[in-house]
A and B are shown apart, each in its own frame.
Chain A
Amino acid sequence: MSKPTDLVQGTLDMLLLKILAPEQMNGFAVSQRLKQVSGDVLQVSDGSLYPALHKLEQEGWITAEWKTSEYGRRAKYYSLTRLGRRQLEKEADNWGRLSSAISRVINLKEA
């Protein structure tokens, strides 16, 4: 798996929060969804996914629950917390402002 671009690395947190926003998911599902929605453009290796998830958990933005999986063993399911929701809003705002600023610069007409 190729390394994600630097931009994605920085915003990985935000993406994961967004993906977990609608419902509770386990790690594998998160990675599938990310690939699916971004159309395989955002390639996040599973190796960097889990540390990111753990960090989010440590910060209190997502919380985890252990349930019995289809395979009969236990699996970890993540969901967004209230704090996480607020963090997501904040980061989405920042992202919006950043991306429109970049767009403005890129779209400058060459005189």
Chain B
Amino acid sequence: MRPEHWLFTIPLRLRSLFYWAQADEELDDELRDHLERATGEYVAKGMTPQEARRRARLDLGGIEQTKEECRDARRVNWIQDFVQDSRFGLRMLRKSPGFTTVAVLTLALGIGANTAIFSLIDQALLRELPVPHPEQFVILRSPGPNHGLTWGDVDQGAQSFSYPMYKDLRERATVFSGLLACREATVNVSGHGETQVAHADLVSGNFFETLEVQPALGRLFTSSDETASGANSVAVLSYAYWSRQFGADPSILNAPLTVNGVPLTVVGVARKGFYGVQVGSTPDIFIPVTMKAQMAPNMLQTLEDRNDHWLPVMGRLKPGIALARAQATLQPIYKPIMELDAKLLKLSGQDLERFVSKPLLLISGAHGRLVLQQGAQEPLLILMSMVGLVLLITCANLAGLLVARGEARQREIGVRLAMGARRTRLIRQLLTESLLIAIAGGAAGIALAWWCLNAIAAAIPEGDGMRALANSLDFRVLWFAIALTLATTILFGFAPAMRATRLDLQSTLKDQGSSISEGRSNVGLRKVLIVSQVALTGVLLAGAGLFARTLINLEHANLGVNTSHVLQFSVRPDLNGITPAQTLAFADRARNEIAALPGVRSVSISTTSIFEGDDHSSNFTPEGYRPGDDTDAMYDYIGANYFSTMSIPLIAGREFTESDTAESPKVCIINEKLAQRSFAGRNPLGLHITHGSGTLYRDAPMEIIGVVANSKWDDARSDITPFLFMPYSQDKNLGRLAFYTRTERDPAPMAAALRSLVQRLDPNLPVNELRTLEEQVSNSMSNDRLVAVLSVSLALLAALLAALGLYGVLAYVVARRTREIGIRIALGGERADILRLVVGQGWRLTVVGGAIGIVAALVAMRWVASLLYGVTTHDPLTFVGVVVLLAIVSGAACYIPARRAVRVDPMVALRYE
């Protein structure tokens, strides 16, 4: 259309849109006028007025049809139709409030759950770094043997580099427009008379520049903020921390902030919404990496040592350079550096080979570094699948309801079709009704998702990386919810709409209920829906059963430690600049004072907290070591009476005592596993073992003075590993202390006493993670608990929906066949036969659905195998339980329709229409 024509028609179209009620009237008048004139013509030709009028009417054809076509011709666009359909749809929905409520609620549940889980997944896995061109980011990794102290947070330490290595790469690699380093640390921030713990990121000078992040206040770091160890006492706050701690007060700029006892000048605040490069972590402060010695004093690795691997490195590739190409150009740069390092380490032979052939690889960093707790990805994906299945069940349910409703409205639809409505128009109208339900359900679902996310966030223990994820609903998620709403509309609305409008008009407009074969195809569709619902429910029940059993197994797992009646807490004197000697003195004093408290049975100290996923491992070379033997073991520094406090049986030898001091001979205690591995067939007591391997860290050999029973360290799931304990008095870098206090009675009331005791000894020392050991263990299972609780809830929801669906179909079948049943009874049929008829139908559907479901479950459970503990993927007990539950569900659903069928009064039924 030419532009002027188009412009000209706009007023006409607008008029049509807004005045169409009036236009309807006009149409009436126009056609009436036509009829009058035509009638006049025929009368003039000699017909009687009635004849003439009849002829005129016939000539015009179906008046309603003509009117409809005229309306179509005037139709502006689909907006008008949609408005009309919506109005009509709302009216119809209001007429059946029960159906509408059930439909909206079930849909809200389905959409809400999916939206909530998607939000978590989006933040954890899908969302890219909120910086320009996140696709240019890569993470460096170098898998292979490391010689030296390696920080293994993920990827078995392959992503940890030394600071000198980072600087070398930054200097020589030309494929990057910027290479940054970033390492998280926990620090003490003092101000206003109190000291609090904060999360810090130690970053290279070019961190913000490479990420292209803008400041919200002041300035951000530059390369001049990375000069020499201890020389860059500046800090940048995160926006969230600045708002939370300092009320977004701009006077914080250039003010000093005491971190770990060191005054740092706050030079700026990062922009809102920037949370560093690690998914699931929300750093409060950014500090130059050169301040490492002050900010992470207890970290064994040093800034300058080429063999201390502790710094993750990420780079921004120059535009247009592909990852593979970049990776290829790095090898010729990396190899010479490694060869140099190998020379310094004096490696030879096979060790040298393996070392210098370590590759430098790149992986995509567009989503940041994923350092969520082990296995957080899988539970999320599994939850996503489960809520997806529930949504499918919901849609199947709704489809079934709509089919039933379509049947009830057959008369109405039949009349409308007979009056000339086009089938596509009717389908569109029915779909609009479905859309209205979906929109209502979607809106409610979003509200529900919001509530769910808050509930989930509350259930995740503090300090767990997942918690940072939980709380936000943003636009991506909303779009997801909207898309889901539309998709479900099509899913549950389309087939019923098609079905409902495909009518044999003749039989529809006659009395219904007479023919038994009528509507058979509709029941067929509903039966298919039921079978699929039951199958999906079976899968969900199987999953729920397995996860629930996993959780129970975990909770009852033998940890090797008696966790009841123990209070734990930890302190970090190193963050306050306290020396190891002072820390030792503090430890002894605190221990004695705690032991003296009433109600305390025993107290002991460790330097690493148990059941927190925090562990250290290193190489320990035993006496009688043969090259090729495995010398890897986890270790911890502990105090006197540790094993008796934790109720770990001592198998041989003795515990550490006060007499094991820094000056006394070096001693250690090993666990059974280490004894079996490194000292098989020998009595380890009296033998020696040395910390280190190869040519490094040849400390003095330690005499083994005791062997203890195996116990778990990280969490209930972890395997027993070789473990070595040393006295903390012989720890040269003593800076962290974890206290374990066993109480006579309930430990909870003692918590306040412990806290005030520590405050009295050192008011600047924050008491961290003060809780019972049982709580701690429970927290370590929070992921499993979340999965178990959610999967059980979802499975029960699915079962409920399936039951409702089954009930619906059976009730319908009974209602339709009431006459037939009446006849049967009147002819002498047994009520038992009737019962069998109805229940048999229900059973058949359940059995078919259940069989499909169980087969599907057996296949599907393979994917979740890694999340299970103590149960196999084809655990017979669980599957039997699923069968039983489905049987119960089926029985419950059949009950009412069966009762109704049995109670049919033949006299009433035969008159029933």
Contact = CB atoms under 8 A, between A and B. Distances in A.
Contacts of A29: 37
Interface in B1-25: 5, 8-9, 12-13, 16
Contact of A1 (B16, B32, B33, B61): B61
A47 B60 contact: yes
A3 B9 CA distance: 30
A106 B590 CA distance: 114
A73 interface: yes
A50 interface: yes
A46 B60 CA distance: 5
B2 to A, nearest CB: 9
Given A46-B59, A54-B74, A27 B12 contact: no
A74 B66 CA distance: 20
Given A28-B33, A58-B9, A76-B26, A51 B60 contact: no
Interface in B627-678: none
B906 to A, nearest CB: 52
Interface in A42-64: 45-48, 50-52, 54-55, 57-60
Interface string A71-83: 1011110000001
A36 interface: no
Interface string A18-55: 00000000111100100000000000011110111011
A83 B30 contact: no
9 contacts: A1-B61, A27-B33, A27-B34, A45-B59, A45-B61, A50-B34, A54-B73, A60-B8, A73-B32
B66 A73 contact: no
Nearest to B37: A28
Given A28-B37, A58-B16, 19 more contacts: A1-B59, A1-B61, A27-B30, A28-B38, A47-B69, A50-B31, A50-B34, A50-B66, A51-B69, A51-B72, A54-B74, A55-B74, A58-B9, A59-B5, A66-B26, A71-B36, A74-B29, A75-B33, A76-B33
A60 B73 CA distance: 13
B62 interface: yes
A36 B423 CA distance: 36
A47 B62 contact: yes
Contacts, number: 80
A71 B33 contact: yes
Contact of B61 (A28, A47, A57, A59): A47
A73 B70 contact: no
A47 B65 CA distance: 8
A76 B30 contact: yes
Contacts of B65: 47
A5 interface: no
Interface of B: 5, 8-9, 12-13, 16, 26, 29-34, 36-38, 41, 59-62, 65-66, 69-70, 72-74
A69 B30 CA distance: 11
A58 B13 contact: yes
Contacts of A50: 30-31, 34, 66, 69-70
Contacts of B69: 47-48, 50-51
A27 B59 CA distance: 14
- Listed from nearest, the 6 A-B pairs whose CB atoms lie closest are A47-B61, A55-B73, A51-B69, A28-B37, A54-B73, A75-B33
A73 B62 contact: no
B74 A69 contact: no
Contacts of B26: 66, 76
Contacts of A51: 66, 69-70, 72-73
Contacts of A48: 69
B33 A59 contact: no
A52 B73 contact: yes
Contacts of B12: 57-58, 60
A80 to B, nearest CB: 14
A75 B266 CA distance: 83
Interface in A75-98: 75-76, 83
A75 B27 CA distance: 10
Contacts of A26: 33-34, 37
A59 B70 contact: no
A101 B41 CA distance: 40
Given A1-B61, A47-B62, A75 B73 contact: no
Contacts of B33: 26-28, 69, 71, 73-76
Contacts of A52: 73
Nearest to A71: B36
Given A50-B70, A51-B69, A71-B36, A83 B62 contact: no
B65 to A, nearest CB: 7
A66 B60 CA distance: 21
Contacts of A32: 41
Contacts of A75: 29-30, 33
Nearest to A76: B30
A61 to B, nearest CB: 9
Contacts of A57: 12, 74
A83 B59 CA distance: 32
A90 B404 CA distance: 54
B444 to A, nearest CB: 40
A59 B34 CA distance: 22
B120 to A, nearest CB: 51
B34 A28 contact: yes
B877 to A, nearest CB: 70
B42 to A, nearest CB: 12
Contacts of A28: 33-34, 37-38
A83 B31 CA distance: 26
Contacts of B59: 1, 45-46
B13 A46 contact: no
Contacts of B30: 27, 50, 75-76
Nearest to A75: B33
Contacts of B60: 46-47
A55 B71 CA distance: 9
A76 B5 contact: no
A75 B35 CA distance: 11
A27 B65 CA distance: 17
Contacts of A54: 70, 73-74
Contacts of A76: 26, 29-30, 33
Contacts of A46: 34, 38, 59-61, 66
Contacts of B36: 69, 71, 73
Contacts of A60: 5, 8-9, 12
A4 to B, nearest CB: 13
A55 B69 CA distance: 10
Contacts of B38: 28, 46
B357 to A, nearest CB: 78
Nearest to A48: B69
A54 B73 CA distance: 6
A71 B41 CA distance: 13
A58 B8 CA distance: 10
A91 to B, nearest CB: 14
A48 to B, nearest CB: 8
Contacts of B61: 1, 45-47
Contacts of A83: 5, 8
Nearest to A28: B37
Contacts of A73: 29, 32-33, 36
Nearest to B26: A76
Nearest to B58: A1
A51 B66 CA distance: 7
B275 to A, nearest CB: 56
Nearest to B66: A47
A55 B26 CA distance: 15
B725 to A, nearest CB: 90
Interface core residue of A27, A50, A52, A76 (most chain B CB under 10 Å) = A50
